[in-house]
A and B are shown apart, each in its own frame.
Chain A
């Protein structure tokens, strides 16, 4: 080459700027290279950020293609085709920002003036909670985003009860025995995937950490683990209870931890409530003096964990004994019938797990001596996205409780979402010496109301995250659920509910069609934007300011995002858009009030927003930065504000409080809701699954196991690191790797199962659940549980006017239920596995024959003798 100019992008003349990734909701540090001509041509991880440590996952590496996507919205637009529906061209007409905001405000106002509940928000920019909380400015608790169900409807409240945190992670820094159940943590997904996989790889290679993965499929985690334990879908709770059975019956338990740091010794009466004295103090049993004492009695010598006692005329047992009773019917042999995991395997894993936990070992960190428990059980969506979601989460937590590893070095640790300021502790003392449970990690929830104030019945889930799938249920049965309003204006920002929500798309289309007005703020066309009346195009993440931190497993701090280039198009920041709307709607003061509270700005009064002012994204970012460490935005431009988690906040921050081994609050919540429903004669109160509220998990089967026999397989959905969260398919670089990976290009079956079904790889099929159907092509691989049909997220998109997104034969979520029967009555978490049957077809149905599907793309890549490398 005669040209002296470098050809490699990172070396071309230009500048590097520090920023934060937004290809998923987490917040890895980035360095962005901008050429002298203003082209963003390389994004790398920021080596100064101890979370991702200079590294990025495939999605983070693909951010440039989102920025330069030619399909991006380039100016505000309004719909001119009044007909809405899949395949209907909206016939967008470009309009000015003034007109767009004017129309939008006018239409919102029309409904807002009648009844604020007629607004249905779907605001899901997870790095901008300042937008997320906007509806609170007019007291609206409706919710049309998928965050709760597809993420952790039960997971987050459960972590709130156990750790007072949003999420949880195994401590890769000290762990030596790592169980992954239905999660890719440390390998392919969940919290800061690039960061955690680095920690875990180091632990595996340098420390010889042993990994065991329990999952129906040979996932990345399973492939990299020393042991893969295939399990029938939706039976993970029963597996965990089998482990607990072995541990409790073989005394593989950290009794000292249970006595000292948990409520396991608290005495529980026959009604499930703790037994309290006249001063409302919970009793425990002193087995030395053989009598009951209040929990804080200084004379207690040894707390009983087992036995049956009588206190104040009431029969009672320690909470631990109650759990032991539950476990009586959870022997590994019994559980094997449900999970298919051989009883011997369960016994062996329980023993290995206990042995690795080194009960009794301690470690000194920062002058503080703590238990070292280098064995931990982690889990996520795949394992806990159940109808009995809370119980399922709780069961996994209890495996960890038994070895005393909760928040211990090497153990299973609560992970905060966004600490807000550096000295803020996420824990606080509650009643009777126990930790204060904080199930509402995502902000305030509406109280009870009849008739309901929300269209998705959030009024009746005192513990949960929003169950947005119930919007459809209520839409179809408004009288039954007593709604005296009907949302008719949708406000959507950075959210694609028509991709994410469960239940058949055709039914959701009717819901969408019932809206009088839909406004969408987004950056590219999606399944949902096709329904919009007005598009308010937003800047993308490479054009905006932000300050956030999203559930990092090992780090804390603030991640600053700054614009790498001027906006490419006539777009605006989400802040501009929502402040613009707020001003026009006359809710500016209320919005700023909500922000002061939700962003924690009221903690430092000098940072509080003035009632009548509009703030830019940079000003909001600056305030969040100052809230964290009193440094302004300029400091963040030059410095990385992320550090490893402070051990005092990270390890056992609740020292001196007792953890909720037994979640008595379930009964309080149940009985209070019951009472309120009775008082108000709520007509569907008898349908409410009161059994779901349980202070301890049970072995009860989730209803998915009770579907008609003809649905002989379990349909399950999965993602890998290239497909985590949104911003994936349609990005040409992501397409490049996803559609070359054999697990993402077919409906996967174990070959023996396929043979039994009379199917071969390549067969075109229709898959039906009791609730919906999809089409697809069969693939086979040995790494599948014989009862499972696996459907990758890569096969979930629908055709929209956006060339880069290849559609498949329908969306797995079409096959999922959206009823109360399959919804956790505690948290609103819906079932995410469905029973299916497979019907072989001779050819694709109409609509899938036109050569634009994922399968056509795959065929093109696979064609012998060809290949796009040439």
Chain B
């Protein structure tokens, strides 16, 4: 089967494959920023690295919010997105973001100004705050994938691998940016941390590659629509971007750099750029290649 067999019908009145056209670049930007920010926060959190955590919070708080609001049809009503946590991952995500931003900020303040001591807070409160902030960050890292995976309409998205890919991409980007932000600062005092982070990034990249391959492979074998999505990425309109940016720049290049020159700042910088480009391209392409299953045939 080729793409031609599953006719892409645009907005024509034919049975065939239609592109989803509702979640577009601004949504991709938001998802990217959400995952990246929460990823940085989470990794930095593990190292009590306040600068990283603040950076993560800012990326999420400013950019993710901005892009979501620009995506929203009725921006002034955006607050209503929080109303149905009982069933909507958007609502749950929004709660998690609120929790993550609020408690994350508190956690940073506690750490930065040693408030536990200054205000005589018990460690229990601090622990609770940091636990909740970290959990919320984990939710922010994954809920977007969960929101997508709930769309049975779009086979490329409708897989448990979606939240997994959100998580792994968030961790990869988060780790490499944390590494960069803390380069020779926080990690100067624990060089073994720096090395182990590099090797963890390599591991994460490997996982990313496996998850990505699984996403495309499972879509390809799931349904007509899924196959069209997969073929769009592998052989169709998005082939070039997918192969060069998502695979080449996003996975192979950083793997090579980090494998062969692990301790070199330039190499890590380049690797980070590649990872971010790859992650962002993946986000955009997953939206672009998302197609609805064709209507039931009544042949």
Q: Do chains A and B touch in the complex (CB under 8 A)?
A: yes
**A interface, by DSSP: helix, strand, loop or mixed?**
loop
Known contacts A864-B8, A865-B288: A740-B19 contact under CB 8 Å:
no
CB pair A867 B14 closer than 8 Å: no
B12, B22, B288 pick with most chain A CB within 10 angstroms: B12
Residues of A within 8 A of B119 (CB): none
Chain A residues closer than 8 Å to B9, beta-carbon distance: 862
B185 shortest CB reach to chain A, Å = 43
Q: Are the CB atoms of B10 and A741 closer together than 8 Å?
A: no
* Bound CA span A740–B14, Å: 8
Residues of B within 8 A of A870 (CB): 21-22
Determine whether B237 belongs to the interface, using a CB cutoff of 8 Å to chain A.
yes
How far is B11's CA from A863's CA once the two chains are assembled, in angstroms?
Answer: 8
Write 12 A-B pairs (CB below 8 A) sorted by A numbering.
A740-B12, A740-B13, A861-B10, A861-B12, A862-B12, A865-B19, A865-B288, A866-B10, A867-B10, A867-B11, A867-B21, A869-B11
Q: Choose from B12, B13, B21 the contact partner of A865 (Cβ within 8 Å).
A: B21
CB interface residues, B 5-57, toward A, < 8 Å:
8-14, 18-19, 21-22
B114 CB, nearest partner CB in chain A, Å: 51
Q: A869-B21, A870-B22 are in contact. Are A864 and B237 (CB under 8 A)?
A: yes
Q: B215-237, CB under 8 A of A: which get 1 and which 0?
A: 00000000000000000000001
Closest to B232 in A: A864
In the complex, how many angstroms separate the beta carbon of A762 from the nearest chain B beta carbon? Answer: 12
Complex contact A862–B14 (CB within 8 A): no
A868 / chain B contacts, CB cutoff of 8 Å: 11
Tell me the minimal C-beta distance from A658 to chain B in angstroms.
Answer: 50
With both chains docked as a complex, state the minimum distance between the C-beta of A739 and any C-beta of chain B, in angstroms: 9
Question: How far does the alpha carbon of A864 sit from the alpha carbon of B8 in the complex, in Å?
Answer: 8
> How far apart are B297's CB and chain A's nearest CB, in angstroms?
15
Q: By the criterion CB–CB under 8 Å, are A861 and B11 in contact?
A: yes
Query: With A and B bound together, what is the CA distance between A133 and B18 in angstroms?
Result: 53
| B12 and A866 within 8 A (CB) | no
User: In the complex the two chains form, what is the Cα distance from A70 to B11 in whole Å?
Assistant: 26
Asked if A683 lies at the interface with its beta carbon under 8 angstroms from chain B, I say: no
Tell me if A742 and B10 are in contact (CB < 8 A). Answer: no
Docked CA distance A244–B18 (Å): 49
Complex CA gap A741/B12 in Å reads: 6
- Smallest Cβ-Cβ distance to B290: which chain A residue: A865
* Alpha-carbon separation in the docked complex, A650 to B13 (Å): 40
> A868 to B21, alpha carbons, bound, how many Å?
10
Cα-based distance from A55 to B237 in the complex (angstroms) = 44
Residues of B near A741 (CB, < 8 A) are: 12-13
Complex interface: chain A residues within 8 A of B18 (CB): 867
Proximity bits, A838-870, B CB within 8 Å = 1, else 0:
000000000000000000000001111111111
Q: Are A737 and B13 in contact (CB under 8 A)?
A: yes
Cβ of A865: which chain B residues have Cβ within 8 Å of it? 19, 21, 288
Task: Compute how far the CA of A862 lies from the CA of B14 in the bound complex, rounded to whole angstroms.
Answer: 11
Closest to A864 in B: B19
The distance in angstroms between the C-alpha atoms of A861 and B9, with both chains bound, is 9
Asked whether B288 lies within 8 Å of A742 as measured between CB atoms, the reply is no
Most chain B beta-carbon contacts within 10 A, residue among A742, A863, A865, A869: A865
Tell me whether B22 and A863 are in contact (CB under 8 A).
no
By beta carbon, the residue of chain A nearest B289 is: A865
Per the 8 Å Cβ criterion, residues 445-480 of A in contact with B are: none
Q: Mark A731-767, 1 if CB is under 8 A from B, else 0.
A: 0000001001110000000000000000000000000
Chain A contact residue count (CB 8 A cutoff):
14
**Which 6 A-B pairs give the minimum distances between C-beta atoms?**
A862-B10, A867-B11, A740-B13, A870-B21, A865-B19, A740-B12
Determine whether the beta carbon of B21 is less than 8 Å from that of A866. yes
Question: Using a Cβ–Cβ cut-off of 8 Å, how many residues does chain B contribute to the interface with A?
Answer: 13
In the complex, what distance in Å separates the CA atom of A737 from the CA atom of B13?
8
Which chain B residue shows the least CB distance to A863? B10
The chain B residue sitting closest to A737, CB to CB, is B13
- Report the separation of the CA atoms of residues A861 and B22 in the bound assembly, to the nearest whole angstrom: 16
Q: How far does the Cβ of B222 sit from chain A's closest Cβ, in whole Å?
A: 20
Q: How far is the CA of A624 from the CA of B135 in the complex (A)?
A: 83
CB distance from A862 to the nearest CB of B (A): 3
- 19 extra interface residue pairs, beta carbon distance < 8 Å, beyond A866-B19, A869-B21: A737-B13, A740-B11, A740-B12, A740-B13, A742-B12, A861-B12, A862-B9, A862-B10, A862-B11, A862-B12, A863-B10, A864-B8, A865-B19, A865-B288, A866-B10, A867-B10, A869-B11, A870-B21, A870-B22
Residue of B nearest to A869 (CB): B11
Q: Which residue of B14, B19, B21, B22 contacts A742 across the interface (Cβ within 8 Å)?
A: B14
B295 to chain A, nearest CB (A): 15
Q: What residues of A have a CB within 8 angstroms of the CB of B10 in the complex?
A: 861-864, 866-867
When distances are taken between beta carbons in the complex, the residues of chain B under 8 Å from A861 are: 10-12
In the complex, what distance in Å separates the CA atom of A650 from the CA atom of B288? 61
In this complex, which of A862, A864, A869 has the most chain B Cβ atoms within 10 angstroms of its Cβ? A864
A429 to B24, CA, bound (A): 74
Q: Which of B11, B19, B21, B22 has the most CB of A within 10 A?
A: B11
How many Å lie between the Cα of A755 and that of B19 in the bound state?
29
- Contact pattern, A 668-710, Cβ under 8 Å of B = 1, otherwise 0: 0000000000000000000000000000000000000000000
**Which residue of the partner chain B has the closest CB to A862?**
B10
State the CA gap A779–B97 with chains docked (Å): 51
In the complex, what's the smallest C-beta–C-beta distance from A531 to chain B, in angstroms?
A: 36
Shortest distance from the beta carbon of B8 to any chain A beta carbon, whole Å: 6
Q: Which residues of A contact B8 (CB under 8 A)?
A: 864
In the bound assembly, the distance between CA atoms of A742 and B288 in angstroms comes to: 24
A863 contacts across to B, CB distance below 8 A: 10
> How far apart sit A864 and B12, CA to CA, in the bound complex (Å)?
11
A740→B9 CA distance, assembly (Å): 9
Chain B 126-172 residues near chain A, CB threshold 8 A: none
User: How distant is the Cα of A742 from the Cα of B19 in the complex, in angstroms?
Assistant: 18
Residues in chain A near residue B13, CB distance under 8 A: 737, 740-741
A866 CA / B13 CA spacing, docked (Å):
15
- Distance in Å: Cβ of A689 to nearest Cβ of chain B: 45
- Give the complex CA separation of A861 and B11 in angstroms: 6
- CB-CB under 8 A from A869, the residues of chain B are 11, 21
How distant is the Cα of A867 from the Cα of B20 in the complex, in angstroms?
A: 9
Q: Which residues of chain A have C-beta atoms less than 8 A from B12's C-beta?
A: 740-742, 861-862
Contacts of A740 in B (CB 8 A): 11-13
- Assembly CA distance A741 to B9 (angstroms): 10
With A and B bound together, what is the CA distance between A741 and B11 in angstroms? Answer: 10
Please give, as numbers and ranges, the residues of chain A lying within 8 Å of B22 by CB-CB distance.
870
CB distance from B3 to the nearest CB of A (A): 10
- CB nearest to B7 among chain A residues: A742
Q: Which residues of A contact B21 (CB under 8 A)?
A: 865-867, 869-870
A142 to chain B, nearest CB (A): 43
B11 contacts across to A, CB distance below 8 A: 740, 861-862, 867-869
Bound form: Cα–Cα A864–B14 in Å: 14
A864 to B287, CA, bound (A): 12
Smallest beta-carbon distance A114→chain B, Å:
55
Q: For A864, what are the chain B residues with a Cβ–Cβ distance below 8 Å? A: 8, 10, 19, 237
CB-CB under 8 A from B237, the residues of chain A are: 864
Q: Provide the A242-258 mask, 1 if CB < 8 A to any CB of B, else 0.
A: 00000000000000000
Residues in B neighbouring A862, C-beta threshold 8 A: 9-12
**A773 and B8 alpha carbons, distance in the complex (Å):** 32
Shortest Cβ distance from A759 into chain B, in angstroms? 16
Chain B residues with Cβ below 8 Å from A866 are 10, 19, 21
Chain B positions 165-203 with a Cβ under 8 Å from a chain A Cβ: none
What separation, in Å, do the CA atoms of A403 and B21 have in the docked complex?
58
Least CB distance, B85 to chain A, in whole angstroms? 25
The docked-state distance in angstroms from the alpha carbon of A868 to that of B12 is: 11
With A and B bound together, what is the CA distance between A861 and B13 in angstroms?
Answer: 10
Q: How close is B23's CB to chain A, nearest CB, in angstroms? A: 10
Task: Note all chain B residues with C-beta closer than 8 A to A737.
Answer: 13
Interface digits, A15-31 against B, CB 8 Å rule (1 contact, 0 not)?
Answer: 00000000000000000
Q: How far apart sit A864 and B292, CA to CA, in the bound complex (Å)?
A: 12
A720 to chain B, nearest CB (A): 12
Residue of B nearest to A865 (CB): B19
A-side contacts of B14, CB under 8 Å: 742
Q: Name the residue on A nearest B11 (C-beta).
A: A867
